[in-house]
A and B are shown apart, each in its own frame.
Chain A
């Protein structure tokens, strides 16, 4: 896959930094520079391109099953060239393949696009550049992280072409369905590949996470205290911690499931009679798997969301020309979310037969987590208040994110109430909830990030007008797709149904389902505008200025095309927090973090005096190399 060689060759890219590098002026070959690169910027781009490719694949799969749901009567012979045997002789989509599509869509979007594509891209790209480091703590582990992800991608992609189909038990792969091969064609080789792929994926996430945490803790430049970190870095940092603590639990769940499948253990299995045979597994519990899965699964939704919120904080502040409102409150909320996200998982299991007392506990804990989420939303809105707002495409996507986060988060309040969840669980109401709050919001965060940092990544600008069209089509589109799903869910329509014609209670809403499908197709197609803009601009975009958005953070002090090591010469020192926008008295409406208070007497607040030690010239310079 030619994902890596997209870096543009510009003069500035050559190894021109003549600073404290012990091993300078060795030319790395093509392979080491662009394929097995240890440079965080190249790795970030590798993650980005792979993530975007996965996004298109995952999106396309959803179009296939939306066609089935919106047009259940349609003859799909025209898909035969693509899907072959999965379209049967009467032109219908195979029901097993429908489940496989849903499963793959969920897995790809949650893990490959919104975890790897989002964290992988922006944590890698921004952490060193925003904390003032030459690279990640361990470039080698960082490289391994990407290539484990790549390996996992290849396995998952390969599973799409199996004759028994890819995994088909839903992205949550609950056993026994996923454990017993005779229970479902999707539980044969497809499931094996799913598990192995996820195991590699988890390794990749852990390697990445260790790096993110270490880099933030150890490689901050002079003056970059934790209270001066941009909220992006805070978000990536917290996300990485959540990932480090929760992914191993999924790893163990996957491992035990592999044992149950291959080595005849009974961790999750008991009393089964499948395909005409009583199995001799006894004593296991399928519920145990659900606990393990959601112990990762709930933190995972925040792993997906927090980076997007961090990106949004940065972009909203920059483009409102205002400090983010409540910087400390934002950090405290994120920390609260980090802690709480580990103790709410069982709200996905209210009706599994779990002890109702546990249900009560988890209902209380779940609704507590809504509080920090609400605080964040209010802070975003207040940041806009009395701003001087510039609508870059990134800003539009960020405002869109806040809207989607609110709309989807609010329905969480209904779902978190176990009494109400009895009816809503596993209906389209849940689908609407998490597609707004997680799927769409995080996707918007990712898009915002791409538009905002594209100039830094590729040294060129993306086209703004196309960005506007892309935003408005996507924003209207996702609401058209997911808002109506609430009503379908309230009407009781269950998730993961191949067709709704078998039940009297779900015979209605055919028009609305058709509408949703059309909206989905249009929304998906409008992503082609983005694809065009992205790839076109990499090669042909307008040359970017050094600081196109008049931003305060460190990455914009690096050269337009930062080379290996990021800054030419010494790494800049940081003197202030990242949100000095529109400071009263200041000449410009932003003061970069690298400007000492001594240089801005006109705008300093009473307590703002430079740290003495920042001026004492210590020869020791923090460097990654």
Chain B
């Protein structure tokens, strides 16, 4: 089908070309040589306002046409503000767009060449220049300052009690890690992510979690992102191979994932997935996480589901997660002997086996993590 379209298109163009060229070489013979312009000057002059009217019509039409495909109202607190800013800015620039184009396309028609007329010699007017330097200046300053307030709020440090989720970009999917909720067992004051080091990465331990860090014992990974509604959520982001970028369009959220450097973004989700489904009348609606920094072949397919739960549901979900260490008990080997007991308390005894006799094999624990490690 495309072949057909292209071939027709090309034929059409060749046809237009030949006809125009024929016709016009015939005309040009008759055209008086001393005239500065011919009839085509008029035609072009008229085409500008025509273009203006039809163009405006189409621009307005497409705005309505597109409306139903745009993203639903932002599902995050800051997203509502940035959307507001965006639409106010669009209003301002839309007005300027219409006003300037009316002049730009009207003048060619109005002031098309007439033999008997002379253009007005009007080389400058400093007052005008000052006016149209100052007015855009004021408008832009207003927009910048309102933008800056919002930006500052978005980028300030996350509240202490924010739910922490780690997102790690890799070719070509996202890895999601939570700090776990067993800090009491571990004797820690706070639920924290364990350290990671890219040199510890293997096929299973995809982030390179460092199991010499107590905080890592209760960390769990997930294939989906769950977050509680109405609570601040702090994303701790990095990449392990090339640049990626965390993009959650429904939350108006974007932050690059950089290897060797942690980036952060915090936000407050305002609507659960269920609420969105009801609101949009779409039982299949899902929040999504995409990648927006080109990262290679699979860049367009780095999808991870994001689920916003009611806080109670979320707590239940977290409680039901098994720590990474519990699911991959091999890695217990990496836990230093003095911490093994704590680790076992968190991961529990192996199903069907007696509690391990720790001292017996502590000597064979691999000597790892003598290297300095990246911090949280």
Contacts and interface: CB of A to CB of B under 8 A. Distances in A.
Nearest to B117: A388
A363 B123 contact: no
B123 A579 contact: yes
B118 A388 contact: yes
Interface in B47-91: 47-48, 51, 55, 59, 62-63, 66, 69-71, 79, 81-83, 85-86, 89-90
Nearest to A402: B104
A285 B121 contact: no
A389 B30 CA distance: 23
Given A356-B151, A509-B69, A326 B254 contact: no
B44 A468 contact: yes
A177 B294 contact: yes
A391 B123 contact: no
Contacts of B199: 278
B143 A413 contact: yes
Interface string A176-212: 1100100110000000000000000000000000000
With most chain B CB atoms within 10 A of its CB, the pick from A177, A468, A512 is: A177
Nearest to B96: A410
A579 B121 CA distance: 10
A250 B85 CA distance: 34
Nearest to B206: A273
Contacts of B240: 271-273
B315 interface: no
Interface in B114-170: 114, 117-125, 128-129, 132-133, 136-137, 140-141, 143-144, 147-148, 150-152, 154-156, 170
A353 B103 contact: no
A82 to B, nearest CB: 13
Interface stretch (A220-228, A230-238, A488-496): A488-496
B21 to A, nearest CB: 6
A9 interface: no
A609 interface: no
B140 A413 contact: yes
B152 A490 contact: no
B40 A391 contact: yes
B155 A323 contact: no
B188 interface: no
A521 interface: yes
Interface string A301-333: 000000000000000000011111111110000
Interface stretch (B221-229, B259-267, B331-339): B259-267
Given A491-B70, A494-B292, A274 B111 contact: no
B208 to A, nearest CB: 7
A465 B21 contact: yes
A419 B81 contact: yes
Given A359-B155, A463-B21, A521-B6, A183 B171 contact: yes
A231 B305 CA distance: 55
A255 interface: no
A140 interface: no
Contacts of B285: 504
Contacts of B295: 177
A389 B111 contact: yes
A177 B261 CA distance: 16
B375 interface: no
B119 A320 contact: yes
A325 B171 contact: no
Interface stretch (B10-18, B176-184, B359-367): B10-18
Contacts of A359: 151, 155
Interface stretch (A111-119, A144-152, A472-480): A472-480
A352 B124 contact: no
Contact of A183 (B241, B264, B284, B291): B241
Nearest to A170: B294
Interface in A445-459: none
Interface stretch (B210-218, B243-251, B321-329, B349-357): B243-251
Given A326-B129, A388-B113, A487-B62, A272 B241 contact: yes
B123 A327 contact: yes
Contacts of A286: 243, 258-261
Contact of A508 (B69, B136, B254, B286): B69
A465 B40 contact: yes
Contact of B242 (A274, A325, A388, A506): A274
A272 B12 CA distance: 53
A176 to B, nearest CB: 5
Nearest to B296: A184
A371 B139 CA distance: 10
A169 B237 CA distance: 21
A284 interface: yes
Given A374-B132, A466-B21, A386 B122 contact: yes
Given A174-B243, A384-B104, A466-B21, A389 B254 contact: no
B278 interface: no
Nearest to B23: A465
Interface in B255-277: 255-256, 258-264
A505 interface: yes
B86 A423 contact: yes
A388 B116 CA distance: 10
B45 interface: yes
Contacts of B97: 406-407, 410
Contact of B260 (A285, A381, A419): A285
Contact of B118 (A184, A423, A589): A589
B297 interface: yes
B253 to A, nearest CB: 7
A497 interface: yes
B299 A497 contact: yes
A423 B76 CA distance: 12
A483 B62 contact: yes
A263 B152 CA distance: 41
Interface stretch (A27-35, A551-559, A580-588): A580-588
Nearest to A542: B28
Interface stretch (A124-132, A524-532, A611-619): A524-532
Given A374-B136, A465-B24, A423 B256 contact: no
A99 B260 contact: no
B93 A422 contact: no
B8 to A, nearest CB: 10
Interface string A457-471: 000000111101100
Interface in A406-444: 406-407, 410-411, 413-414, 417-420, 422-427
B310 interface: no
B368 interface: no
A67 B2 contact: yes
B185 interface: no
A420 B241 contact: no
Given A270-B259, A391-B40, A528 B242 contact: no
Sorted nearest first, the 8 A-B pairs with minimum C-beta distance are A270-B260, A353-B263, A356-B155, A492-B249, A487-B66, A271-B260, A508-B69, A391-B44
Interface of A: 67, 71, 74, 78, 95-96, 99, 168-170, 174, 176-177, 180, 183-184, 269-274, 278, 282-287, 320-329, 351-353, 356, 359-360, 363-364, 367-368, 370-371, 374-375, 377-382, 384-391, 396, 399, 402-403, 406-407, 410-411, 413-414, 417-420, 422-427, 463-466, 468-469, 472, 475-476, 479, 483-484, 487, 490-492, 494-500, 502-506, 508-509, 512, 518, 521-522, 525-526, 528-529, 532, 550, 579, 581-584, 589
15 contacts: A71-B2, A95-B300, A99-B294, A184-B242, A286-B259, A321-B113, A352-B263, A353-B264, A356-B155, A371-B140, A378-B100, A384-B107, A420-B85, A422-B82, A491-B69
Given A388-B113, A403-B105, A413-B92, 12 more contacts: A71-B1, A273-B198, A320-B119, A326-B123, A359-B151, A378-B128, A389-B108, A423-B252, A426-B292, A512-B66, A525-B10, A589-B118
